[in-house]
Structure 1
Amino acid sequence: MRLAGPLRVAAVAGAAALTWLLLTGLLGPGRSQSPIRGLLGRAERPPTAGPRPFRPRFRCGLPRPCPRSSLAFRLVSGAANVIGPRICLDGRMLMSSGQNNVGRGLNIALVNGVNGELIAAQAFDMWAGDAEELLKFLRPLHEGTLVLVASFDDPATKLTEETRRIFADLGSAAAKDLGFRDSWVFVGAKGVQDKSPFEQHVRNSRSSNKYEGWPEALAMDGCVPRRPPDAR
């Protein structure tokens, strides 16, 4: 009985350490990468002598600056149903757990494509929420509006055919096939003519999931072109 206290403390400390490792692997710089694979990679590297060289980071943690005609972005999907997603644009965190404005389902930020100003940011529960709320959010989009999306837990159960068509019109190639507990990050825009180059999708598959019941989290960054002020 005397060991119950110390064992409880050790269990809590172990859980906290695991959470920190997941956060470090998920939210650090870099493109789509399994956090577990990243942690193992660091563990296998031999120790190096001397201080590491300084590597400057730019807006949203990108390794190089974006041209003035573009906006820097970084999207991180949620990890299983534990760690929430993040959406960063032009050096500003638009959505994150720290800001208490993310949730299960689809986390979406609407941005002015000319000046990068945030128009609206909202999370939509695609498991138990009202699908009509998402449609009300997406239907009135103006030409040139940027749409940044990061999934968390389940992004697809309540998706309607109309919602999938709207995402496809915004440039998504994956929205039509998005399924239960898939991981998805996407940047699109109202009025685009082609499919967006800024999209990543990993299916929920028992044979390849990184977590029990969920695929790996995704991280994507880059430079999305601004819309010219006089574009029609």
Structure 2
Amino acid sequence: MRPVAAGVFKALLLVFASMGAWYSGYLLAELIPDMPLSSAVYNIRSLGERPVLKAPAPKRQKCDHWTPCPPNTYAYRLLSGGGRDKYAKICFDDELLIGEKTGNVGRGINIAVVDYVTGKVTGAQYFDMYEGDNSGPMTKFIQSAPPKSLLLMVTHDDGSSRLQAQAKDTIEALGSKEIKNMRFRSSWVFLGAKGFELPSGIPREKINHSDNSKNRYSGWPAEIQIEGCISRALS
């Protein structure tokens, strides 16, 4: 092929190649929707990646139980205080009856009274057992609870120093087996019933004594808790 003809042929090839590249770019621009270049690059890279499957968040249960209570039952959770600053909590049927957020928790024995028939709280109060003469008023508070009442009790800090024998007898009559074993700063939780019997199988009471060799906090044992479900149709 002559040099002139070869040059013309190369020029024609360059023109056709340029036109082909332009047309391919035009078609690509029409087929791909407008998006930032970085997004386009990310989408291209992600084509070969496996999709990430996210499990749905677990449904929250009443009173923060791990598993739901059966139908026609009340959920409850009693948590004692821990140390000086971790306050006690009483939750019943998903309502916080006593706790830091409700502003009605304090040193001593914290008590919530619930009408078993309606599930509604009828009284909530704490009684300082370290200072003051509060054992007598607490006894009257417990005795004034109407029949068919649930009494939920938790300690914060110390609940034993000024706890008198009459108060212990009154709480023991509600089913407590540990109230007379209370010591200085013992962590204690208890679920009592007035005017009816609770099932024997449900968690009702727990105690943890202060022991300087085992205490979680300086001078205080670890907090303790019980939780469970109470049928709404007890006799």
Q: TM-score, normalised by structure 2?
A: 0.71
Deviation of the 1:226 alpha carbon: 2.9
Is the 2:160–2:185 Cα contact (8 Å) retained in structure 1?
Answer: yes
Q: Secondary structure at the match of 1:119?
A: strand
Q: Structure 2 residue aligned with 1:218, among 206, 220, 224? A: 224
Pair 1:192–1:168, CA change in 2 (3 A): farther
Q: How does 1:8-87 map to 2 (within 5 A)?
A: 54-87=57-90
Question: 1:174-205: per-residue Cα shift (whole Å, max 9, x none)?
Answer: 10111110001111111355777311110111
Q: Secondary structure at the match of 2:123?
A: strand
Is the 2:203–2:227 Cα contact (8 Å) retained in structure 1?
Answer: no
Is the 1:204–1:213 Cα contact (8 Å) retained in structure 2?
Answer: yes
Comparing 109-118 and 138-147, the one that deviates more:
138-147
Is the 2:79–2:226 Cα contact (8 Å) retained in structure 1?
Answer: yes
1:145 and 2:152 correspond:
no
Deviation of the 1:94 alpha carbon: 0.7
Question: 1:55-98: per-residue Cα shift (whole Å, max 9, x none)?
Answer: 22211111222233321011111111112111111011111111
1:91 corresponds in structure 2 to: 94
Is the 1:108–1:123 Cα contact (8 Å) retained in structure 2?
Answer: yes
Question: 1:24-83: per-residue Cα shift (whole Å, max 9, x none)?
Answer: xxxxxxxxxxxxxxxxxxxxxxxxx98566322211111222233321011111111112
Q: Over alpha carbons, which structure has the higher Rg?
A: 2
Is the 2:93–2:119 Cα contact (8 Å) retained in structure 1?
Answer: yes
AA in 2 matched with 1:153: D
Alignment coverage as a number of residue pairs: 181
Q: TM-score, normalised by structure 1?
A: 0.72
Deviation of the 1:206 alpha carbon: 1.6
Q: How does 1:148-187 map to 2 (within 5 A)?
A: 148-187=152-191
CA distance in 1, matches of 2:136, 2:204: 26
AA in 2 matched with 1:150: V
Q: Secondary structure at the match of 1:154?
A: coil
Comparing 191-200 and 208-217, the one that deviates more:
191-200
Q: Kindly indicate whether structure 1 or structure 2 has the higher relative contact order, using CA contacts under 8 Å at least 6 residues apart.
A: 1
Deviation of the 1:173 alpha carbon: 0.9
Comparing 125-134 and 218-227, the one that deviates more:
218-227
1:205 and 2:211 correspond:
yes
Extract unaligned runs of 5+ from structure 1: 1-48
Is the 1:144–1:227 Cα contact (8 Å) retained in structure 2?
Answer: no
1:126 corresponds in structure 2 to: 129
Extract unaligned runs of 5+ from structure 2: 1-51
CA distance in 1, matches of 2:83, 2:129: 15
Which ranges of 4 or more aligned residues in structure 1 deviate by more than 6 Å? none
